[in-house]
């Protein structure tokens, strides 16, 4: 369970010697831990709930019933030597904050934590957790866009940016994208266009879109999610 050298790249790729500790094995933590295990990653799961631990026994590399807010417990389990850690505790906010603070103290190189509310996420960010995710809020937003039916896909990519897949609005059709000026006006970039055969191609300033073309647009989330209304 060697600690990998912290990378300067912001995207962290799991290497062959990397291992992940997942703290909290509720629906989110379990799904994450099982997916990683199936991908061949070494995973230690920790939860206080005996039934959950029994149920996952043999399905993760190791699963332990323990209180992850206790420094000694985490040390005994070798958590300071892990390269990656995910705190997947939501409603027990105090436990989420405490276990995250131990991971930060241990200087685990890659720490991710789930937040269930904005204040929860704000506390984790202020603590110094580098990756705070909001799976419920993100999924709710995404489904709302899908339900409206105007957007084929909506993906919050963090840092205030989102990627939207949708039919091109009328105002974008029939002129080169340079002339349409979406980037200048809204700070939105059309990055790809779907071809009639279903494959994707890069969009450039010279690309001329046809009615019903599907495009991928990247830009500030607040603008990108209203992209379709800019017709
Ligand atoms: P879900 O992912 O199911 O939506 P949730 O967001 O409601 O979960 P919680 O129920 O607060 O999150 O926590 C997820 C899991 O974390 C639970 O299985 C719980 O037993 C476990 N847990 C809570 N406190 C601790 C702790 N101190 N140490 C280890 N595990 C804990």
Beta carbon of 52 within 6 Å of any ligand 1 atom? yes
Mean of pLDDT values over 124-137 = 95
Query: Which of 93, 140, 155 is closest to 119 using CA atoms?
Result: 93
Alpha helices in 39-176 (DSSP H): 50-56, 71-76, 93-105, 118-127, 135-148
Cα separation of 96 and 85, whole Å?
12
Structure tokens at 109: 């190189």
Distance in Å, CA 96 to ligand 1 centroid: 8
Residue 198: the pLDDT is 84
Residues 6+ apart with CB under 8 A from 72: none
Task: Calculate the dihedral angle through the C-alpha atoms of 145, 147, 148, 150, rounding to the nearest 10 degrees.
Answer: 70
Cα separation of 86 and 36, whole Å?
12
- How far, in whole angstroms, is CA 194 from its chain's centroid? 25
- Give ∠ CA 45-14-202 in degrees, rounded to 5: 130
Beta carbon of 25 within 6 Å of any ligand 1 atom? yes
Asked if 120 contacts 95 with a C-beta cutoff of 8 angstroms, the reply is no
Distance in Å, CA 26 to ligand 1 centroid: 5
Pocket test for ligand 1, best of 24, 87, 91 (most atoms within 8 A of CB): 24
pLDDT band at 230 (very low <50, low <70, confident <90, very high): low
Q: What is the per-residue pLDDT across 137-174, written as a single tens digit (0 to 9) for each?
A: 888 888 887 887 777 888 888 788 989 998 888 888 89
pLDDT surpasses 50 at 4: no
Mean of pLDDT values over 118-122 = 96
Distance in Å, CA 50 to ligand 1 centroid: 12
Strands (E), the chain: 19-23, 42-47, 62-65, 84-87, 110-114, 131-133, 151-158, 161-167, 189-194, 200-202, 214-220
Beta carbon of 49 within 6 Å of any ligand 1 atom? yes
User: For 80, phi and psi rounded to 5 degrees?
Assistant: -60, -20
Q: What is the per-residue pLDDT across 35-86, written as a single tens digit (0 to 9) for each?
A: 999 989 999 999 999 999 999 999 999 999 999 999 999 999 999 999 999 9
Residue nearest to atom 29 of ligand 1 (CA): 47
Beta carbon of 228 within 6 Å of any ligand 1 atom? no
Tell me whether strands 161-167 and 214-220 are parallel, antiparallel or unpaired. Answer: antiparallel
Beta carbon of 154 within 6 Å of any ligand 1 atom? no
pLDDT band at 12 (very low <50, low <70, confident <90, very high): low
Cα separation of 83 and 22, whole Å?
12
Whether the predicted model's global pTM rises above the 0.75 cut: yes
Residue nearest to atom 21 of ligand 1 (CA): 24
Instruction: Count the neighbouring beta carbons within 10 Å of the beta carbon of residue 6.
Output: 11
Pocket test for ligand 1, best of 26, 54, 133 (most atoms within 8 A of CB): 26
Asked if 90 contacts 96 with a C-beta cutoff of 8 angstroms, the reply is yes
Ligand 1 atom at minimum distance from 69 CA? 27
Structure tokens at 40: 């061949």
Maximum mean pLDDT: which of 93-102, 186-195, 212-221: 93-102
């Amino acid at each position: 369970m060697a600690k990998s050298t912290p990378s300067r790249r912001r995207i962290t790729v799991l290497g062959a010697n990397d291992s992940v500790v997942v703290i909290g094995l509720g629906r989110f933590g379990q799904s994450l831990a099982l997916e990683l295990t199936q991908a061949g990653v070494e995973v230690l799961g920790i939860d206080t709930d005996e039934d959950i631990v029994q149920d996952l026994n043999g399905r993760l590399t190791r699963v332990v019933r323990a209180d992850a807010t206790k420094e000694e417990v985490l040390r005994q389990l070798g958590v300071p030597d892990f390269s990656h850690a995910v705190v997947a505790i939501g409603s027990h906010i105090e436990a989420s904050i405490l276990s995250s603070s131990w991971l930060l103290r241990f200087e685990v190189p890659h720490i991710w934590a789930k937040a269930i509310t904005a204040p929860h996420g704000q506390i984790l960010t202020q603590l110094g957790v580098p990756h705070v995710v909001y799976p419920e809020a993100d999924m709710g937003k995404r489904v709302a866009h899908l339900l409206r039916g105007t957007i084929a896909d909506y993906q919050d990519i963090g840092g205030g940016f989102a990627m939207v897949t949708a039919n091109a609005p009328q105002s974008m059709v029939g002129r080169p994208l340079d002339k349409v000026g979406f980037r200048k006006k809204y700070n939105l970039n059309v990055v790809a266009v779907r071809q009639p055969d279903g494959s994707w191609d890069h969009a450039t300033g010279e690309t001329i879109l046809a009615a019903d073309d599907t495009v991928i647009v990247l830009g500030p989330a607040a603008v990108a999610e209203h992209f379709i209304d800019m017709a």
